[in-house]
Structures are given as C-alpha cells and as structure tokens.
Structure 1
Amino acid sequence: MARSNRFVVAMGDVFPRGAFVVSEVEAVRDFDKSSPGRPVQQVDRESGLPVWSVSVLDADPEARRSEKTVVVKIAAAHQPVPPEAAGGLPFRPVEFDGLTVTPYVQESGGRPRVAYSFRAAGMRSPGPQRGQAGKNQDAA
C-alpha cells in the first residue's frame, strides 16, 4: 500500500479559532530549477499543478508566538484570490479546502523539533462550504 507523508486534516483541527490572510499570494520558487534572472515556479509532485503560498495568522490566543503565523501552500492552476476583508477587520478571514499537514524534523538552535508543512487545494471565505471539497475557489 502506497503511503503519503501528507495527512488530511480538518480546518477546525488546525485553526480552531480561525485564520486570517496576512500576505499576498505568491508563486513558490523552485530553487533547484531556477537560475539568476530566470525564476521557475515549483510544481506539486502529486497533482502537477503550480504551487502558491500565503501567510496566515492563527487566531488562537494560546498559540505559541513562533507558531502564530504559518505558511499554507496551495496547488492550483491559477493564482488563488484571497477572500475580501470582513467588516472593518485589518485582516481577511480564510478557510482552506483540502487541507493537509506534513510533519518533519527541523533543527532549531542545535535542537531538533517537529515542525509542520501545510498544503491546501483552495481557499475561501469562512462559512458554508461552496462547491466540492478540494476545488480551488480562485474566482473573486
């Protein structure tokens, strides 16, 4: 049986108090294939789609300072569009569809620790799920 290192997780399990977009959506650079003056965008190994990244703020007040802001990578044919800001908030609330987590060991100050890489199939405004899970909601 083939096994992936990615584990499917529910949005509420990772961000129980919600999450907020705090950056622009950017193409993830493939450093192995890029050269000076010729950037190449990373491609997701499983889907073959271009990879984009967005920084999000974990709204959980008990989250450790070093884990307050995380990067979520999104595999999508087109650059995903973040949800609109809600009711005068400085940040845009977001939910991720098809969220997965990959644990890995990271050296930090000479001490190994478990870290997590987050990926999603799409992002949208919080609330009732629109469309099918795993579909990219990249139309504004």
Structure 2
Amino acid sequence: MAIKQRFQIEHSVAFPKGAFLRGGVEPVADFQAEKRPDGTRPQQRDKETALPLWQCVVIDADDDAGKKDIGVTVKFAAAHQPVPPANKSGFPWTPVEFVGLTALPYIDDGGTRPRIAWSFRAERLVAPGEADKAAA
C-alpha cells in the first residue's frame, strides 16, 4: 500500500470551510519525561527530527464537523515557535491556512464508543491565500 502512516493533505481538503486559530501556538509538554525541579515538564521533541514540538488549536468551520471534531489540534516540529499571522478579520479568532499539512488517522477509544480521529501536523501556518503566493 502506498500510504504508510502519515499522508499529505491539502488544507482545503482538511478544512473546506476554513480554520480559525483559537489562542496561540504553545509548546507540547512531554508527559513521558520527568518533571523539572520547578514542577514544569520539558518540551516534547519530534521522534524523527528531534525538533521541539509546538501546537495550536483551531476551530474547524465545517458545518458537518461533529462536536468532538470542531476543536482541532495541529502540531509543528520547528526549532523556533511558529508565529501566527496577524488577525485582520475583526473577529476573535484568526483565520489561518496550514502549509505542508499531514494527517494520521487513529482509533480514539477514550470515550464510550471508539471512533476514528485525526492527528494533524503542518510545516507552518499563514494567513488564508498566503500559501499560494509563496508557492508562485
């Protein structure tokens, strides 16, 4: 089979009605590592690249998204904290587009009934339409 694990997916396919950043980009805490003396946890690192992992939560604007699928976490492996675009929308959430988006399906069996869930990663986030300008 050509699809091993993670696969590339266009932002417009994953988020056909758009994605809206809720909050900022934050480090991913490593819950497998011991706590530091001050009680904090070290930042998780990507298993393939050893780069620090960052995450953000976006709101999926798709009307067909179920209530468990509206808030979506997207992670980034990057040496420095990704900077979201400025919010020029006039709304509390920043419209964003993901560049280099990948998806990994998995079974979420943490609820009363197992379901298919998705793990998303991206290379970066930009304002909608900016990804096309950078590629041109």
Give the alignment's TM-score, normalised by structure 2. Answer: 0.87
Residue 18 of structure 1 corresponds to which residue in structure 2? 18
> SS state of the match for residue 65, structure 1?
coil
Q: Post-superposition shift, 1:34?
A: 3.2
What secondary structure, in the 3-state scheme, does the structure 1 residue paired with 2:114 have? strand
Partner letter of residue 121 of structure 2? R
2:115 maps to which residue? Answer: 113
DSSP-derived class of the 1:53 partner: strand
Residue 103 of structure 2 aligns to a residue whose secondary structure is strand
Superposed counterparts of 1:43-62, under 5 Å: 43-62=45-64
CA displacement, residues 46-72 of structure 1 (integer Å, 9 cap, x when unaligned): 222110010000111221121111100
Name structure 1 gaps, 5 residues minimum: 133-140
Mapped partners of 2:53, 2:59: distance in 1: 20
Q: Where does residue 69 of structure 2 map in the other structure?
A: 67
TM-score with structure 1 setting the length: 0.84
Secondary structure of the residue that 1:116 maps to in structure 2?
strand
Which residue in 2 is equivalent to 1:99? 101
* Distance in 1 separating the partners of 2:4 and 2:40: 31
Structure 2 unaligned residues grouped into runs of 5+: none
Structure 2 Cα separation of the partners of residues 24 and 87 of structure 1: 16
**CA separation of 1:82 and 1:34: change in aligned 2, threshold 3 A:** farther
After superposition, the Cα gap between the structure-2 partners of 1:128 and 1:25, relative to the gap in structure 1 and judged at 3 Å, is closer
Aligned residue identity for 1:22: R
Structure 1 CA distance for aligned equivalents of residues 7 and 123 of structure 2: 13
* Alignment check: 8 A CA contact 2:89 2:95 kept: no
Overall identity of the aligned pairs, in %: 46
Partner of 2:86: 84
SS at structure 2 position matched to 1:60:
coil
**3-state SS of 1:56 partner:** strand
